[in-house]
Structure 1
Amino acid sequence: MNELLELLSFGFFRNALIAAVLTSIIAGIVGSYIVARRTVFISGGITHASFGGMGIAYFLGFPPFAGAAVFAILSAIGIEWSSNKVGLREDSSIAILWSLGMAIGILFVFLTPGYTPNLMGFLFGDILTVKVSDLLWLSAIGLICILLIKLFYPVILSVAFDSEFASVSKMPVQTIKYVSAIIVAISIVLSIKVMGIILVLSLFTIPASAANLFAKDLKKMMYFSVLISVIGSVTGLLVAYYLDLPSGATIIFTLTILYMLLRIKKLF
């Protein structure tokens, strides 16, 4: 216990712990919506496409995560628009943006003059480098997610499970889809600092899938997902620190073990 208290005296670890909790709240809420709508791979496309924005931002001398946010939002809107207006199959647009974003990112990072940034931090994240400004952004998007669910839950529920019924009922289905796509995009970009591009999709999928084993109601699913995500993320962070392991990979490994244990419990 004394060792843990001593660990909490370090500012970087406190920031990492708070980031793990805030990211878990966001991932629990947004991830439940993603899993309920069965749009996990849309999120994967947005995640990998955002790397293109990072590469362009580095090349132009802008903050990389600002570029990632712009690219992620445009990709999210592009996927929704192309599938609804152009008639392009959703899986095709995801595949195109997924590979195009990664290719653009790699090319522009390579073309950036001078020092070539370490891609490992972008691909796998580093929660121990989280700053207070990152925590403020995570808090803001977490609060927005909570407010949207509280204010528009019936509409969000209808769109998530039966968008055709929602359309017939004159609900603003397209507006909800575009707004939710933007929220998903921003949530993913903010979580990249913690988990990295490669692993962040798992953070938004595993806790929600585990919660879905025991809860079919979307609101309960979100509660369980947040709880599972917090437990797995904090435990994974502590294990990573004490064993000197990569934090992102350890958190995902811990969440996967937790999911398997819950799956076994469900079976028996």
Structure 2
Amino acid sequence: MTPIDFILEPLQYEFMVRAIMTTTIAAVVCALLSCWLVLTGWSLMGDAVSHAVLPGVVLAYLVGAPFALGALIFGFLAVALIGAIRDTSRVKEDAAIGIVFTTLFALGLVLISVTPSQTDLTHIVFGNILGVSDADLLQIAALAAIAFAVLMVKRRDLTLYAFDPTHAHAIGLSPRFLGALLLGLLALTSVVALQVVGVILVVAMLIIPGATAYLLTNRFHRMLIIAPVLSAVCSVTGILLSYWMDAASGGLVILVQGSAFALAYLFSPTHGLLVHGAGRRRRPARRSPAPATASGSAAGL
């Protein structure tokens, strides 16, 4: 078997092709959103929303509704609860996030444990990339297309909001609306990635690509290119590795993305730890001028 045949062997199976397509779609839209999440410092909010959708998915299963509908409702509910606790009490935002997402996540685990089901609902927690159906693929593609379109249309406003909300307000934009829009897109994107890597690993797809691109460039428009491309490549690599290693697909996708971040952290030409450390070692230290002596001063004069 040639190396090309070895690489292309997984593509002979329809479920592998669906898995690669689904993961790539989710990886691209998550990576785009992660660029704004990294800039605004909302990584913990992404963790909260991705975990809070679990009870919505279980309740949607109980009433026979689409999983995405229940996840969206509870994603927006989590955002509203966090905002209400933050604005109407002395509790700060980070504490409000921790309270809401852990409580809702625990509710989801309890619902899974008491719900009689012919479907293994633990796939919601850990993901089931290889079990994605054609209907799931269409649903994920539709939601991802909506999130992608909104991000592209509002990218300038969202970028200004991320860098300087005060200036955005001064030129007539509404920071409150843009913040709510970003949170809504976060809930929608969490639903997109939910069936790919599960509730637990969604947050990694929403943070790692943007953080990696942030280390590789100082230009935001380049981040919007680097993050999706890198995330898609890592996702396909992780899926193929899961086939050859017979290991968990979702875990390997995130592991490959984490490895890419580690390489950028160490070897990035702009912000790499080893590159900058070597530059500092090569740079000669400044010497303080020697104190002038009386004879030296006279000679200079």
TM-score by length of 2: 0.81
Q: How does 1:109-258 map to 2 (within 5 A)?
A: 109-112=112-115, 114-115=116-117, 117-258=119-260
Q: Look up the match of 1:76.
A: 79
Q: Is residue 96 of structure 1 aligned with residue 99 of structure 2?
A: yes
- Partner SS, residue 170 of structure 1: coil
2:216 partner amino acid: F
Shift of 1:6: 4.2
Higher mean alpha-carbon deviation, 169-178 vs 188-197, is at: 169-178
Q: Deviations over 1:65-95 (max 9, x none)?
A: 4322211122224434554577752212211
Q: Is residue 66 of structure 1 aligned with residue 69 of structure 2?
A: yes
Shift of 1:11: 1.6
**Contact kept in structure 2, 1:109 and 1:117, CA below 8 Å:** no
Bigger Cα Rg? 2
Please list every run of 5 or more consecutive structure 2 residues that lacks an aligned counterpart in the other structure. Answer: 276-301
Q: How does 1:9-24 map to 2 (within 5 A)?
A: 9-24=12-27
- Partner SS, residue 213 of structure 1: helix
Q: Look up the match of 1:36.
A: 39
2:10 partner amino acid: L
2:44 partner amino acid: F
1:259 partner amino acid: F
Alignment equivalent of 1:54, drawn from 50, 53, 57: 57
Please list every run of 5 or more consecutive structure 1 residues that lacks an aligned counterpart in the other structure. Answer: none
Report the CA distance shift for 1:60/1:146 in structure 2 as closer, same or farther (over 3 A): closer
Q: Give the number of equivalent residue pairs.
A: 267
Shift of 1:252: 0.9
**Contact kept in structure 2, 1:127 and 1:248, CA below 8 Å:** yes
Alignment equivalent of 2:111, drawn from 99, 108, 113: 108
Shift of 1:140: 2.7
In structure 1, C-alpha distance between the alignment counterparts of 2:226 and 2:240, rounded to whole Å = 21
Shift of 1:61: 4.3
- Partner SS, residue 245 of structure 1: coil
In structure 2, C-alpha distance between the alignment counterparts of 1:71 and 1:202, rounded to whole Å = 20
Output the aligned Cα RMSD: 2.1
In structure 2, C-alpha distance between the alignment counterparts of 1:53 and 1:12, rounded to whole Å = 27
Report the CA distance shift for 1:256/1:36 in structure 2 as closer, same or farther (over 3 A): same
In structure 1, C-alpha distance between the alignment counterparts of 2:201 and 2:191, rounded to whole Å = 12
**Contact kept in structure 1, 2:127 and 2:196, CA below 8 Å:** yes
**Contact kept in structure 1, 2:209 and 2:257, CA below 8 Å:** yes
Q: Deviations over 1:203-240 (max 9, x none)?
A: 11111111000223322112111111011111111001
Alignment equivalent of 1:7, drawn from 7, 10, 13: 10
In structure 1, C-alpha distance between the alignment counterparts of 2:68 and 2:145, rounded to whole Å = 20
Q: Look up the match of 1:262.
A: 264
Aligned residues with identical type, % of pairs = 24
In structure 1, C-alpha distance between the alignment counterparts of 2:82 and 2:122, rounded to whole Å = 27
Report the CA distance shift for 1:57/1:128 in structure 2 as closer, same or farther (over 3 A): same
**Contact kept in structure 1, 2:144 and 2:192, CA below 8 Å:** no
**Contact kept in structure 2, 1:109 and 1:116, CA below 8 Å:** no
Q: Deviations over 1:92-121 (max 9, x none)?
A: 221121111112212222332x34753431
TM-score by length of 1: 0.90
